[in-house]
Amino acid sequence: MTPVQLAPSILSADFAALGEAIGMAERGGADIIHVDVMDGHFVPNITVGPPVVRSLAKVATRPLDVHLMIERPEQHVAAFVEAGAAMVSVHVEVSPHLHRTLHYVRSLGAKAGAVLNPSTPISTLEEVAGDVDYVLVMSVNPGFGGQAFIPSSLDKIRRLRALLDRAGNQAPIEVDGGVDTTNVAALVEAGARILVAGHAIFGQADPVAAARALAAAARAAESALTGR
């Protein structure tokens, strides 16, 4: 079984102190740093681009996971990989040539992820189930941190795990939106292996302690599953 990994999202951190935010995430047990890129078109919000990722890559000691919430993601993938992204995910809703884009990301040396909005069915991945290095299931509508977890995401993760397994792909499922200590166990049990959390870490008075609490909850859920 793929081990559960914690991926703090710096979206809810102080953007004037992103280096410190990464330090806190790493001290809190982050395995991956999740970076949300928004363009004001695909989603209503605007965040950061490749220059910021390049600076983050200089301070992070964990892989950068760049979640592209932008139109025409394929036009920007190379710039993000060059800037230091180890993982790049694109939304299926804006990727008519998803197969080509996934293989393009891989050809640049990064892990390729496909992202599903809450309203996008897992069937959109049927034909590329063997071409993904991970799948990101949005458990909120993308655009903002601090939104409430959509409970039907649990069943979606379960069905997606089955779809990937049928394709013989052990690619991990990442979940993003409203993840906190109250739903971590259910998410791990459903099959999520990369847990993104923004508000539950950086919206707390002590982000390091909050990240540690999430990592501990994830580890406990994992032990309950494996019996170890």
Interactions with ligand DX5, residue window 51-70 (CB under 6 A): 67
How many Cα atoms within 13 Å fall on the side-chain side of residue 36? Answer: 27
Among 4, 26, 35, 36, binds Zn ion (CB under 5 A): 36
Asked if 154 contacts 209 with a C-beta cutoff of 8 angstroms, the reply is no
Instruction: Enumerate residues 2-41 that contact ligand DX5 by CB under 6 A.
Output: 9, 11-12, 34, 36
Q: Which of 32, 67, 143, 184 binds Zn ion (CB under 5 A)?
A: 67
> 39, 65, 176, 180: which one is catalytic?
176
Nearest approach in angstroms of CB 11 to ligand DX5 is: 3
Pairwise CA distance, residues 48 & 14, whole Å: 13
Which among 36, 39, 65, 133 is annotated as catalytic?
Answer: 36
Number of H helices, E strands in the chain: 8, 8
The listed partner (ligand DX5, Zn ion, none) that binds 63, CB under 5 to 8 Å by sort, is: none
Contact (Cβ atoms closer than 8 angstroms) between residue 177 and residue 150: yes
Rg (CA), the chain: 16
CA–CA dist 100, 97 (Å, integer): 5
The count of chain residues that interact with ligand DX5, using the rule CB under 6 A, is: 22
Please list every residue from 166 through 205 that binds ligand DX5, using CB under 6 A: 176-179, 196-200
Catalytic residue list: 36, 176
